[in-house]
Amino acid sequence: MMYRKCVLLLLVVVVAPLLLRGGVLATPSKSFNKANGLCPSAVEIAPCKCIEQADGELDMDCSEVTTTAQLQTAFQATFPFTEFNSFTLAPIVPSVNLLVLPHGVFGDISFEYVYISGTDLEIVEEEAFTASRNTLVSLSITQNRIQSFPFETLPIYTVLHILDLTENMLPYLPDIVSSPLRYLTLTGNIGLSFDTDTFPGANNIIEINLNHMQISSLQSNLFSQLNYIEHIDLSRNYLSGQLQSGFMAVPIDSLKVLDLNDNQITDIADGAISGVARSVLINLQNNLITSLPEDQWVHLIDQITRINSIDLRGNPLTCGCDVLWLVRSEDKMAKIHENTTCADGTMYLHDVPLEVLVNNC
């Protein structure tokens, strides 16, 4: 920002006098004029639009572009400044003639924030965003048809904190290598596969969203090298049966939110979930859990200090002898969400009478 203001001042102090002809300011150039300010010529970049904000930040909106050629032509214009705040491509109706973001499509123009949504884009080529290697903070390419994305180039982006590829058609997630990456979202990439070596090269990630992807199983210790992970969302998948020991293991008790709701989980083994913060929220709503055996749940519950931490609402709990150990301990029971009900939906787990269990168990 300071750079832009200095350059603008230089234009006023040094260049303006050179434009004077007999006391009258000469006609401004085509690419830098009074009407456009810091933006390039509107004609040269059409149908893209350059917006100059009050604080001098520049945004480029190319939502009306319908072909790859149009996009390339727009960025071949003369730009007084090459550092933009944002780029937006979000058409009302997607174009079948805009399927690829090719190498060098943006020329030497860089962005801090990129938002592309609702297109028919299928391919992002390797050097599409490399002019932004030292500026790109957030890359959001959502609700498109992306099948090919250059994950291998992530290491060159020095300040990329957010990568959101929600609802595309990515088939495979290779190893992610990115030290600055903090937030990764792959929600809605149905059938996307990955292996245990996916995340070690991005061990500063804080949040991962892998929900609504039809994931049926995960390798043990998939997240075990994420030293700062706080939130993992695996909701609305096909996880089923018992979660095995090591299913969710993070290294330094950093995990604050774990979303496992709306799967088909029936049980968890002892040690299935470890490394959680003492104030963690574990959402297990709407699964198929019927019982809470002490030997499988007590170690998890003992890690937690927060009340209502484990949400089991919407599970067909039998509320039989398996919960006697919980009913006997007010402290342990307090960590189960207070609105958790038994299978019939009429009795709350917290209200199961101790004397009935003692007499029958």
Q: What is the pLDDT of residues 227-283, one digit of tens each?
A: 999 999 999 999 999 999 999 998 888 999 999 999 999 999 999 999 899 999 999
Distance CA 350, CA 19 (A): 81
CA-CA distances (angstroms) from residue 188 to 146, 171, 185, 211? 12, 12, 9, 7
pLDDT value of position 6: 43
Main-chain dihedrals φ then ψ at residue 172, nearest 5 degrees? -150, 140
Assess if residue 95 is contained within a domain.
Answer: no
Is it the case that residue 34 has pLDDT exceeding 70?
no
Q: Is the pLDDT of residue 15 over 90?
A: no
pLDDT-wise least confident of 153-167, 189-203, 297-311: 189-203
In this predicted structure, what is the pLDDT of residue 198? 87
**What is the C-alpha separation between 144 and 132, in angstroms, rounded?**
21
How many angstroms separate the CA atoms of 319 and 39, rounded? 67
Average pLDDT over residues 275-304: 96
Over residues 189-220, the pLDDT tens digits come to 999 998 777 898 999 999 999 999 999 998 88
Residues with Cβ within 8 Å of residue 235, at least 6 apart in sequence: 211, 212, 259, 260, 261, 262, 263, 283
Residue 330 lies in a domain: yes
Q: Which of 44-48, 223-227, 283-287, 347-351 has the weakest average pLDDT?
A: 223-227
- 221 band by pLDDT with thresholds 50, 70 and 90: confident
Percentage above 90 pLDDT, the chain: 83
pLDDT at residue 4 tops 80: no
* Per-residue pLDDT at 29 exceeds 90: no
Residue from 342, 350, 356, 346 nearest 313 by CA: 342
Q: Considering the chain, what percentage of its residues have pLDDT values greater than 70?
A: 90
Q: How far apart are CA 24 and CA 120, in angstroms?
A: 51
* 152 occurs within a structural domain: no
Q: What pLDDT shows up at residue 5?
A: 40
User: Does 35 reside within a domain?
Assistant: no
- Note whether residue 252 is domain-resident: no
- Residue corresponding to tokens 């319908």: 66
In a domain, 280, yes or no: no
Higher-confidence position of 31 and 292? 292
Q: Identify the burial level of 345 via C-beta atoms within 10 angstroms of its C-beta, where 0-12 means exposed, 13-18 middle and 19 or more buried.
A: exposed
Average the pLDDT over 96-118 and give the result: 97
Confidence tier at 301 by pLDDT (50, 70, 90): very high
**Domain residues for 322?**
289-361
Q: How far is CA 180 from CA 144, 157, 258, 269, in A?
A: 25, 8, 22, 34
Distance CA 241, CA 265 (A): 5
- The closest alpha carbon to 80, from 113, 115, 52, 48, belongs to 52
Number of domains in the chain: 1
| pLDDT at residue 11 in the model | 36
User: Does residue 179 sit within a domain?
Assistant: no
Give the per-residue pLDDT at 37.
76
- Taking alpha carbons only, the member of 298, 353, 290 closest to residue 325 is 298
In this prediction the pTM is 0.87
The tokens for 296 are 């499988």
- CB atoms inside a 10 Å sphere around CB 93: 8
Q: How far apart are the C-alpha atoms of 257 and 233, rounded to whole Å?
A: 8
pLDDT on residue 90: 98
Tokens representing 207? 């949040």
Q: Is the pLDDT of residue 354 over 60?
A: yes
Residues 31, 34, 36, 38: what is their CA dihedral angle, to the nearest 10 degrees?
80
Task: Give the mean model confidence (pLDDT) for residues 45-69.
Answer: 96
How much is the CA Rg of the chain, to the nearest whole Å?
27
Residue 356, in any domain of the structure: yes
